């Protein structure tokens, strides 16, 4: 009879799981056409919640970076627009005086 408590030899095979992801972050214009595109293609370090969280953090950081650039550009555009409206609302005399005192 074979002893039931005898330890089994370790298996020579093992299971390995690899997950990679591709994420594309696009900046769209008013008509939903992409004007800028950045792609992330990476392997996940671990196949668990921490690995998915790290991958999601990379994607959201990239998305936030692009959104911050858009917000900054929009803010500058609004300042230029307000300045143009301020100048347009000035009378000719105010424009001349403004030009004389600014230079």
Q: What is the pLDDT of residue 9?
A: 83
Q: What is the DSSP letter of 10?
A: P
Q: What is residue 2's predicted lDDT score, i.e. its pLDDT?
A: 59
Tell me which of 64 and 1 has the higher pLDDT: 64
Q: What is the DSSP letter of 32?
A: S
Q: Where are the domains of the chain?
A: 20-102
What pLDDT score does 1 carry? 53
Rounding to the nearest 10 degrees, give the CA dihedral for residues 61, 62, 68, 69: 160
How is 33-99 classified by DSSP, letter by letter? -EEEEEEEEEE-S-SSHHHHHHHHHHHHHHHHHHHHHHHHHHHHHHHHHHHHHHHHHS-HHHHHHHH
pTM of the model: 0.64
pLDDT of 7-63, one tens digit each? 888 888 888 777 888 899 999 988 999 999 999 888 877 778 888 888 899 999 999
pLDDT, position 52? 87
**pLDDT value, residue 103:** 64
């Amino acid at each position: 009879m074979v002893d039931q408590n005898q330890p089994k030899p370790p298996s020579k095979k093992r299971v390995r799981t690899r997950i990679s992801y591709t994420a594309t972050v696009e900046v769209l214009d008013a008509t939903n056409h992409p004007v800028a595109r950045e792609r992330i293609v990476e392997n996940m370090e671990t196949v668990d919640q921490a690995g998915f969280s790290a991958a999601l953090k990379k994607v959201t950081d990239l998305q936030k970076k692009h959104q911050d650039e858009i917000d900054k550009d929009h803010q500058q555009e609004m300042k230029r627009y307000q300045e143009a409206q301020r100048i347009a609302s000035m009378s000719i005399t105010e424009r001349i005086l403004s030009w004389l005192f600014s230079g």
